[in-house]
Amino acid sequence: MDYSFTDEQMMLRDTIARFMETEATREVIEEIEKANEFPHALVDKLSELGFMGINVPEEYGGQAGTVIDEMILFEQIAKRLPVLAWAAGNVILYGNNIINTNGNQEQKEKFLPLLVEGKLKFCFALTEANVGSDAAQLQTKAELKDGRYVINGAKMFITGAGIADYVVTNARTGGPGMDGITAFLVPGSAAGYSASPINNLGHKGSNTCAVTYQDVEAGPEDILGGPEQINQGWRQMMRLLNSERLVLSSCAIGIAQAALDYALAYAKERVQFGRPIGRFQAIQNKLVNMATEVEAARRLAYYAGWMEVNHMPCVKETSMAKLYSAEVAKRCAMDCVQILWGYGYAMEYDAQRFLRDSLVYSIGGGTSEIQMNIIAKQMGL
């Protein structure tokens, strides 16, 4: 079995790594953290270099890449600046993937070229204050009145909701449960739509917001996939879960790798009792465990990606990858803090940022507990 990278994929990895080293300097990262502002300039540069079209068909100006290409891109971005991975994800996952997978021809022609060119930003609005893991119970409603849908309700923890040109809004148009949900493409400028930023612990600059809809109007043409896709929102979401889990896995792996690299470099330089602390077995054991877990997470995730690309059933494997990668990122970040001693607790060092940024991966995109439930179901339990 061979699921190694192609020459083109290795070139992609090296290119985005160089881009991040050059553009996401320590000064840039610190400014984004301090200002807590969306990284517009870096997103624009990614678009200029064609990275935003990585998974868009060539006929719309993209590169026609696979989810493996997406994972390579996101791992390298998150290794340096995780919030930029989330910002890019709003285009690549919640713009490109959603429109290319579920949009009708008119929507593909309208949105995909502009997404590739960096002229549009999307975000995905599903979670609500009382609707997280049990997403099928969402309460935001879209009622048909005089040929138009009127949306009322609220969403919570929606990344990029304050800067998005379009918000993929999941609302109830039918009965209770998953069969009554429809996805609407709501302009961020729509009357009655508002977004208020939330100050998160990590991923500073993500523009994560609480969103309200007050008599927001949408036409049948604004339904994702067109009018015939009324009440099909849940099924549309299910088509995207594997790729979402894989991309989030690669982001978590990027953070874990960054924590490992940072701790390893420190262990080679920090001297105690007359020698570098990396010469002590206790520190060595932590670093070896970190390295082993990062490698195991990477192999699991990219194997699951290989299965997805080859159209093999892989719900269990993508959930395993998401679960394991998220937990590895937290453990590696915590060990990095411990290895750095008091410096790991200081805001001037990156260890604390790795820890803060790692925590969300066991929450967003399906909690670790939900991934366990999915895996158990796939095991016949």
Query: What residues are labeled active site?
Result: 244
Per the structure block, which two tokens stand in for 145? 């009145």
Alpha carbon separation from 139 to 30, 102, 189, 362 (Å, rounded) = 39, 23, 22, 24
**R_g of the chain computed on alpha carbons:** 21
Q: Cα–Cα distance between 197 and 114 in angstroms, integer?
A: 26
Q: Cα–Cα distance between 59 and 101 in angstroms, integer?
A: 15
Q: What is the DSSP letter of 217?
A: E
Do the bridges between strand 148-159 and strand 141-145 make them parallel or antiparallel, or are there none, so unpaired? antiparallel
Cβ atoms < 10 Å from Cβ of 215: 13
Reduce the DSSP state of residue 103 to 3 states and report it: coil
Q: Cα–Cα distance between 320 and 79 in angstroms, integer?
A: 21
Alpha carbon separation from 10 to 1, 53, 76, 309 (Å, rounded) = 19, 18, 12, 17
| 277 and 271 Cβ atoms separated by less than 8 Å | yes
Length of the chain: 381
Q: Write the DSSP string, 332-366.
A: HHHHHHHHTGGGGGSTTSTHHHHHHHHGGGGTTTS
Burial bucket for residue 39 (CB in 10 Å: 0-12, 13-18, 19+): buried
| 130 and 78 Cβ atoms separated by less than 8 Å | no
Q: What is the DSSP letter of 59?
A: G
Q: How far is CA 4 from the centre of its chain?
A: 23
Q: Which residue reads 């896709």 in tokens?
A: 229
